[in-house]
């Protein structure tokens, strides 16, 4: 987690052709991202399938024949003053057109609401019949996805865990957080565009085994000490990288890297190190200086960028990052819907409305032009951004950016969903998750703040990283996806001068005990918190801390033969 708003201060400175298939009423298609290092897959266009039947499950006798109504209803157990007034919308789909050779099936449920509500609505696998007039409420099946905050218009749930191909699939919508009814359009609605639908996409083919990460192809760029290049007015052509023969390792062995940049063994070791005015805003030297201190290159360099689409803040990758990629480092671009220099913040509605399309497309073009896989994030820690909109609006903006990148051919972007991971927001994370098809890595930002945030608790590395890790396991968000510490850090202990050094020395063991974490990036900024005599979160604030961090970086678990450390 972070102290609200503080650590952002320093960041301000700084295949075959697709065949068209259309079934049902929902238009549009989403291009599935396939990075250059994958063997081609034949991607389908989205199948939009109309609901076969729906009804409202309820114990309220006045509800009558719900299977014949033009609306569905959801409500909490206590509903409009009735302690036994709970309702669930039950919807059935008959899927018959997914080919037998389909893989990577993704399914999105879309249901229309007429008003906005401050409620959480969760989609469950349902044992009920959508064809009954008024089926009784029963224990909900497995939870599939949630929206936190119902939007006026179409709301979406990722139900890929339920829909795995052809068959009859029934899902129910259960409501919490609001004791009044929400009405949804049913299959009987006169407007076909409002009726529930299921959007399915898939690939055709066989996904290959993991392959080694390719060496970045040289690209013309300015010297790393010059200003960042101007954005290209057009999308650059794709350049396919060629893996280096010297780093080609048989699939399944340590040193192999998947198309989504997942190392087959161990974890990547990364760094965010901010540039400063005193150093001439040299973002390259900001990293190499720390590398010199710790005696190794970092696998991942993390940078924060804005929507200005100019200078090193917005026209990325800049000259420094291009040089770092040529030298074998992976890049993680954390893209914030702000203008750092102007100090302004966009709303998520500004993003998905189309008003930022020119900027999104320009960035997508430059990412595509790198020709190598790169980590890409959009608005890390959105739970700490109330001014930008609702959780549902964040999800909508994320999906919008993802889809524009896919449309631009920037399929080398590896999407990292980054949350604070704070227990105070556990109830919101399901509603902030864009869905498995839109996310490649799940990340969070754990810190041992100690006295920096007013606490006196000293947390070990394992305790620091375990809370949200365990919550993800228990709640199934991003199940099967690699995890990343997009930011992590620790304070020192003024009462125990060796504590920070030991903390770093113990960190590799904490990663090994949490093997789904495949990357860890230190946030080396004094702007994380207010620096005082008892608070300094930087890794290199004294010699003993540097010694401990250097020892951690020498651990074999963090020495990827394909990364910057080789």
Q: Which of 184, 172, 118, 116 is nearest to 145 (CA)?
A: 172
How many other CB atoms are found less than 10 A from the CB of residue 117?
19
Q: Please state the length of the chain.
A: 566
- Hunting for tokens 């949350």 — which residue is that? 419
Yes or no: say if 196 and 51 are a contact pair by the CB < 8 Å rule: yes
Half-sphere exposure of residue 253: CA atoms within 13 angstroms, side-chain side: 9
Peptide bond into 438 cis (omega under 30): no
Q: What are the phi and psi torsion angles at 478 (to 5°)?
A: 65, 35
Q: Which of 429, 225, 229 is nearest to 318 (CA)?
A: 229
Structure tokens at 295: 């005696």
Q: Which helix (H) or strand (E) holds 550?
A: helix 543-554
Instruction: For residue 103, list its beta bridge partners.
Output: 203
Distance CA 211, CA 225 (A): 33
156, 336, 381, 383: the active-site residue:
381
Instruction: For residue 174, list its beta bridge partners.
Output: 122
Distance CA 524, CA 274 (A): 7
Q: How far is CA 293 from the centre of its chain?
A: 32
Q: Which of 48, 197, 145, 34 is nearest to 435 (CA)?
A: 145
156, 385, 393, 487: the active-site residue:
487
Yes or no: say if 390 and 338 are a contact pair by the CB < 8 Å rule: no
- For 186, the 3-state DSSP assignment is coil
Distance CA 383, CA 386 (A): 7
Distance CA 389, CA 177 (A): 18
- For 557, the 3-state DSSP assignment is helix
Q: Which of 544, 541, 518, 9 is nearest to 269 (CA)?
A: 518
- Hunting for tokens 């007015």 — which residue is that? 233
Yes or no: say if 487 and 521 are a contact pair by the CB < 8 Å rule: yes
Distance CA 84, CA 271 (A): 54
Question: Given its phi and psi angles, is residue 281 left (phi above 0), alpha (psi -120 to 50 degrees) or beta?
Answer: left
Instruction: For residue 484, list its beta bridge partners.
Output: 443, 519
Yes or no: say if 220 and 175 are a contact pair by the CB < 8 Å rule: no
- Judge whether 383 counts as a catalytic residue: no
**DSSP state, 312?**
H
Angle at 65 between CA 61 and CA 68, to 5 degrees: 155
- Judge whether 506 counts as a catalytic residue: no
**DSSP state, 46?**
P
Catalytic residues: 381, 487
């Amino acid at each position: 987690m972070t102290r609200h708003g503080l650590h952002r201060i320093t960041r301000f400175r700084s295949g075959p052709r697709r065949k068209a298939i259309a079934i049902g009423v929902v238009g549009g298609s989403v291009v599935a991202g396939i990075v250059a290092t994958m063997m081609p897959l034949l991607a389908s266009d989205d199948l939009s399938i109309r609901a076969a039947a729906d009804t409202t499950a309820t114990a309220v006798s006045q509800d009558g024949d719900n299977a014949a109504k033009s609306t569905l209803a959801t409500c909490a157990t206590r509903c409009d003053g009735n302690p036994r007034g709970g309702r669930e919308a039950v919807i059935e789909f008959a899927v018959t057109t997914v080919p037998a050779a389909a893989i990577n099936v993704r399914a999105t449920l879309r249901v229309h609401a007429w008003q906005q509500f401050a409620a959480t609505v969760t989609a469950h696998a349902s044992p009920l019949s959508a064809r009954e007039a008024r089926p009784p409420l029963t224990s909900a099946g497995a939870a599939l996805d949630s929206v936190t905050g119902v939007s006026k218009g179409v709301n979406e749930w990722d139900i890929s865990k339920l829909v795995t191909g052809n068959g009859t699939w029934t899902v129910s919508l259960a409501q919490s957080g609001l004791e009044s009814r929400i009405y949804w359009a049913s299959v009987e609605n006169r407007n076909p565009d409002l009726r529930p639908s299921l959007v399915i996409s898939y690939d055709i083919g066989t996904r290959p085994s993991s392959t080694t990460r390719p060496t970045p192809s040289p690209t013309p760029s300015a010297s790393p000490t010059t200003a960042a290049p101007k954005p290209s007015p057009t999308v650059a052509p794709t350049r396919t990288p060629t893996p280096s023969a010297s780093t080609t390792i048989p699939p399944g062995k340590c040193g192999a890297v998947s198309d989504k940049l997942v190392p087959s063994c161990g974890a990547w070791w990364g760094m965010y190190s901010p540039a400063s005015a005193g150093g001439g805003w040299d973002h390259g030297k900001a990293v190499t200086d720390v590398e010199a201190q710790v005696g190794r290159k970092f696998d991942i360099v993390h940078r924060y960028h804005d929507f200005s689409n100019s200078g090193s803040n917005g026209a990325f990758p800049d000259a420094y990052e291009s040089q770092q990629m040529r030298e074998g480092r992976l890049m993680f671009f954390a893209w914030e819907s702000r203008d750092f220099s102007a100090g302004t913040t966009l709303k998520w509605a500004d993003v998905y409305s189309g008003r930022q399309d020119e900027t999104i497309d320009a960035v997508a073009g430059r990412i595509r032009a790198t020709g190598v896989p790169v980590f890409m994030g959009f608005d890390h820690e959105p739970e700490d951004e109330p001014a930008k909109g609702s959780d549902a609006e964040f999800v909508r903006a994320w999906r919008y950016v993802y889809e524009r990148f896919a449309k631009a051919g920037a399929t080398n972007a590896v999407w990292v969903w980054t949350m604070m991971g704070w227990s105070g927001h556990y109830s919101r994370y399901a509603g902030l998750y864009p869905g498995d098809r839109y996310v490649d890595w799940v990340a969070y930002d754990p810190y041992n703040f100690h006295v920096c945030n007013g606490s006196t608790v000293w947390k070990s590395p394992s305790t620091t990283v375990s809370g949200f890790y365990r919550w993800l396991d228990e709640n199934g968000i991003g199940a099967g996806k690699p995890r990343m510490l997009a930011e992590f850090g620790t304070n020192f202990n003024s009462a125990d001068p060796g504590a920070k050094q030991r903390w770093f020395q113990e960190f590799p063991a904490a990663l090994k005990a949490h093997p789904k974490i495949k990357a860890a990036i230190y946030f080396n900024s004094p702007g994380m918190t207010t620096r005082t005599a008892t608070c300094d979160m930087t890794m290199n604030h004294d010699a003993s801390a540097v010694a401990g961090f250097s020892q951690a970086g020498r651990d074999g678990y963090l020495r990827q033969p394909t990364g910057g450390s080789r």
